[in-house]
Amino acid sequence: MIESDHRLAERVQIAAKNLGIDRPHYGPPKPLKPISAMHQVLVDVTPIELLHEVGRATVFQERAALRDIQRIWAQLRYCDAFSYGKVKLPRGRHLLRMSEDALAKRFHHANVQSETLGIGFAIILARHVLSHGDPGWTWIPVDAEMVLDAGFDIPEGRLRPYSRTDTKLRPDYFLFGHKSDGLLSRTRLVVLECKGTHYRKNVLEQLSKAAFQLQSVHVGGTTPPGLMISTVLEAERITVHILDPDGDDELWHGDSAELGDEADQLNLSRTPSTESPVDDERLPEQLDLFPGLGPAPQVFPEPAGTASLAEVYPIPAEQKGWFARVLSRTAAAASLLFAGDQNRAQRLISERQRQRTFGNREPDLPELHHRNTGIGFARGTSTTVRWTGGRRLEVFNGIDVALLASLNEHGAGEYVSRTRAGKPEIDGAGDEVFLRAGDGTVTGFRLLPSSRRRRRI
């Protein structure tokens, strides 16, 4: 269920302003508004959708020797994380909830579990919200750090860029929107911040910090639109809290072929924010307007001398086309990595992006094979692990062969232009199920019989 009303927006605004007062280098938070049309709306989300989005969104893992296992680790770890509640909804539906096995892990792995699954829920619900406003657009999640690496050099001695001095305030993902108008392509950018928790009392603290993370990227001197989402993974239900900060809209338009053009690696500089410091006047105390979320989080001043001007990632107006190309090529590379095609993926990204993902190692060359999924043919990789009762679980990740051929022949721009809007296609049930997403990526899970041979008596 989605929660997004004025009471939530008011409480998060208060918490964010208080946080900005005590940490002035964060700068002032943007005005927050709810998405009232989505408040208390039930959204159909299936476990395979979540596992697909988590796997697709986390392919740019830090360099590791066991890249293939790490690439699908989240899907394997959380393939038994969901079940359905007993309360019946209209049309025979049931509320999605965490399984008992998943809830047992929260005592030792709560942060990792909620953060990882929060990414999946945030992407699915953000796409749902954006498609509700304009169903003609497709939205592809792209790792924000990977995109920014193509334009901003990594400070010496640090593995990843920092968007604000002495902080780690940067967005999680960009949602790259595309719509074809005849021969032209229109693109939009939405900055997405994903949060996850097992306890409703943490929502205000998470969203108040997210308000600053969303404004750390400027394009053409303005802040793009954003969505901040906190997912609460409870025993009986899963609730998603969404707010929508202000921001400007269209990113770039032109021939779709240009989106696949080579995007030079730039060395842009992070700059101090021009925002005025927060007025040192706290908002008045408010009643508990959103029961269950608890009071606004208490914040503490940082030691003297630690505060400094906020820094942002500024993309100049004349580089909007470059930025759209980087988004396009990074999105295409993510789909290839998801399918296991590391060799082709590394050709689409910049040297800094390659260093982030592969380090000095050569890309692995896993065996790719074709699979008839029931919803089309895909090319990708599969991994089989032991399951309970002596059975085996096979996980397949791939990409639609038609989109793959288009990507190989015409480039990332043509690939992006051929993605489609709407819900993913799902085929199968029980021991075998496959999903094909609008970006052409495919996920499948199959339970196979035991490979043990029976003893002869």
Q: What is the pLDDT of residues 242-295, one digit of tens each?
A: 998 776 666 766 666 677 777 777 777 766 555 443 333 333 333 333 344 444
Give the DSSP letter string of 338-391: HHT-HHHHHTSS-HHHHHHHHTTSPPP-PPPEEEE-SSSEEEEEEEEEE-GGG-
Instruction: Indicate whether 140 pLDDT > 90.
Output: yes
Distance of alpha carbon 414 from alpha carbon 411, whole angstroms: 6
pLDDT at 388: 86
Q: Is the distance from CB of 96 to CB of 31 less than 8 angstroms? A: no
pLDDT in tens, 281-306: 333 333 333 344 444 444 444 444 44
Mean pLDDT of 125-147: 90
Q: Which residue has the tokens 């280098």?
A: 25
- Give pLDDT, residue 290: 36
For residue 151, CA distances in Å to 121, 159, 250, 265, 331 come to: 29, 15, 20, 6, 16
| Contact predicate 267/150, CB 8 Å | no
pLDDT band of 180, cuts 50, 70, 90: confident
Q: What is the mean pLDDT of residues 394-419?
A: 92
Would you call 312 helix, strand, or coil by DSSP?
A: strand
> How do 138-143 and 217-219 pair as beta strands?
unpaired
In sequence order, which residues have a C-beta less than 8 Å from that of residue 154 and are 6 or more positions away? 160, 161, 352
Angle between helix axes 67-77 and 47-57 (nearest 10 degrees) is: 150
Q: Are 28 and 277 in contact (CB under 8 A)?
A: yes
Confidence of residue 335 (pLDDT cuts 50, 70, 90): very high
Strands 311-315 and 217-219: parallel
The candidate with the shortest Cα–Cα distance to 147, out of 265, 274, 4, is: 265
**What's the token pair of residue 215?**
């404004």
Bigger pLDDT: 252 vs 85: 85
Q: Which amino acid is at 367?
A: E
281/335 Cα distance (integer angstroms)? 48
By the 8 A CB rule, do 244 and 35 touch?
Answer: yes
Which of 446, 455, 432 is closest to 392 using CA atoms? 446
Mean pLDDT throughout 357-367?
74
pLDDT (mean) for 51-73: 79
Q: Which two tokens stand for residue 350?
A: 């910049």
Over residues 93-119, mean pLDDT? 84
Query: Worst-scoring range by mean pLDDT, 85-99, 311-325, 364-378?
Result: 85-99
Q: Summarize the confidence of residues 59-66 as an average pLDDT.
A: 69
- Would you tell me how many other CB atoms lie within 10 Å of the CB of residue 407? 26
- Quick one: pLDDT at residue 254? 64
Q: What is the mean pLDDT of the chain?
A: 81
